[in-house]
Structure formats: structure tokens, C-alpha cells
Structure 1
Amino acid sequence: MPKLKSRKAAAKRFRRTGSGKIVRRKAFKNHLLQHKSPTRKSRLSKLVVVNERDAENVEMMLPYL
């Protein structure tokens, strides 16, 4: 049986926590930051757990994650 390939675009965006959950970065923190408040930018910096409805798709894209 050949090895399965992972989707490289997904591999760069997701990782697994120690407990097995999949985490991602938040959107809207790459440019146009001068008008966003420090509180908002701080909140956007944190990682969040992927929604359970999307987690299945991510796991299919990353078979060995």
C-alpha cells in the first residue's frame, strides 16, 4: 500500500495539540493593522481549536497529523 500524501497547504496551516485537537491561526492579522486596536490584535494572535465540523476535513487532508 503506498503512503498517502498530505495536502501541503493544510500542513502549513494546522497542527495538533498534545491532547489531539487541531489548532489554527486566526484570520485578519497580516496587514492593515494600524487601525486595529492593540486588544484586537492581541486577541487575533492566539491559536484557536478548529471547529468540530471542519476537523474531519482537516484530518482527511493530513492523514499523518
Structure 2
Amino acid sequence: MPKLKTKSGAKKRFKVTGTGKVLYAQAGKRHGMIKRTNKQIRNLRGTAVLFKTDGDNIKRFFLPHA
């Protein structure tokens, strides 16, 4: 059997917590901040947790060793 490789794109974008939840950085803060309201910018700070089913798919297909 060949080894299962982790998708390197997913490795950079997601982090699995100790309890098995998948964290991701929120989209919409790379450029174009002038268009966005201060409230939008404030609410996009930090990381968020994926829904359980989406997180399970990420771990199954892209992060097999997580």
C-alpha cells in the first residue's frame, strides 16, 4: 500500500484542535479593506470553526493523519 499524503494546500489552510474540530482563517481580509465597513473588518478577525460534517470531510480527504 502506498503512503497517504497530506494535501499541502490544506495543511496551510486548516488546523485540527485537540478535540478534533477544524479551524480555518476567515475569508475576505486579503485586500479591498477600503470597501468594507469597520464592523465587517472587526468580525472577520481570528479563526472560526468549520461545521462538523465539513470538518470531517477535510480530515478524511485532505488531512488523513490529523
TM range (shorter): 0.7 to 0.9
Taking the aligned partners of 1:33 and 1:13, their CA distance within structure 2 comes to: 21
Which position in structure 2 is the counterpart of 1:62? 63
Question: Could you list the runs of 5+ residues in structure 1 that have no partner in the other structure?
Answer: none
TM-score when normalising by structure 1: 0.82
Which position in structure 1 is the counterpart of 2:27? 27
Taking the aligned partners of 1:23 and 1:62, their CA distance within structure 2 comes to: 13
Question: Could you list the runs of 5+ residues in structure 2 that have no partner in the other structure?
Answer: none
Q: Secondary structure at the match of 2:32?
A: coil
| 1:11-63 CA-partner distances (Å, limit 9, x unpaired) | 11000123321100111111111121222112112211111121121002101
Q: How does 1:38-57 map to 2 (within 5 A)?
A: 38-57=38-57
Q: CA RMSD in A?
A: 1.5
The size of the alignment, in residue pairs, is 65
Counterpart residue identity of residue 4, structure 1: L
